[in-house]
Chain A
Amino acid sequence: QVQLVESGGALVKPGGSLTLSCAASGFTFSDYYMSWIRQAPGKGLEWISYICSSSCTYTNYADSVKGRFTISRDNAKNSLYLQMNSLRAEDTAVYYCSRINGPFDIWGQGTVVTVSS
């Protein structure tokens, strides 16, 4: 069964840091580009970052998170990560990981990040 499971969401203070994880199963994780997408409360979807497959090292970020967030992957552990630094109130959202197969064909259930003092 193809599945993505996010974890690591928490309540964090402004300026703090947090690392999200996404565990993949049911497919050859290293073959696929992967992405993080977030959704603020009551708002739409915002793509924030992607990382290419095992054969390359390219990453890309939305302007809203560039320089603060870092995407990475561990193909041996079938895991995707999002290191988030200098968190702001506007980073409060549900964070989804997704498999890129042209479009985003597989999504996790999401993990909640709340940035508040």
Chain B
Amino acid sequence: EIVLTQSPGTLSLSPGERATLSCRASQTINNRYLAWYQQKPGQAPRLLIYGASTRATAIPDRFSGSGSGTDFTLTISRLEPEDFAVYYCQQYGTSPGYSFGQGTKLEIK
């Protein structure tokens, strides 16, 4: 089973700043099958990025993903007030399951 470790656990930034979130896998993720999700309080997660770097439908271009192998990054270029949320990475390319990272909380400084 692939274990995903996200860092930092909490990231405190101000609107307008750049956010960099990390996701490290315990083994290589095949074909860059790595996704990022955003979750706001009381809401279901929303798919942001898949294939490590492809934005999902209607996701603003301030969100970008990069990485391969075992190290992946989600970058938010200029934070908007609505971007403060919890972010999860997920691998979906290796059986048997679809493991998630533990999450990074992005909070307003």
Contact = CB atoms under 8 A, between A and B. Distances in A.
Given A102-B92, A103-B90, A104-B98, A44 B103 contact: yes
A100 B92 CA distance: 9
Given A45-B88, A45-B100, A103 B47 contact: yes
B2 to A, nearest CB: 11
Interface residues of chain B: helix, strand, loop or mixed (majority): loop
Nearest to B31: A102
Interface in B66-109: 88, 90, 92, 95-103
A47 B44 contact: no
A65 B35 CA distance: 24
Interface residues of B, number: 24
Contact of B98 (A47, A107, A108, A110): A47
Given A102-B51, A108-B44, A35 B98 contact: yes
A109 B45 CA distance: 9
Contacts of B88: 44-45
A103 B97 contact: no
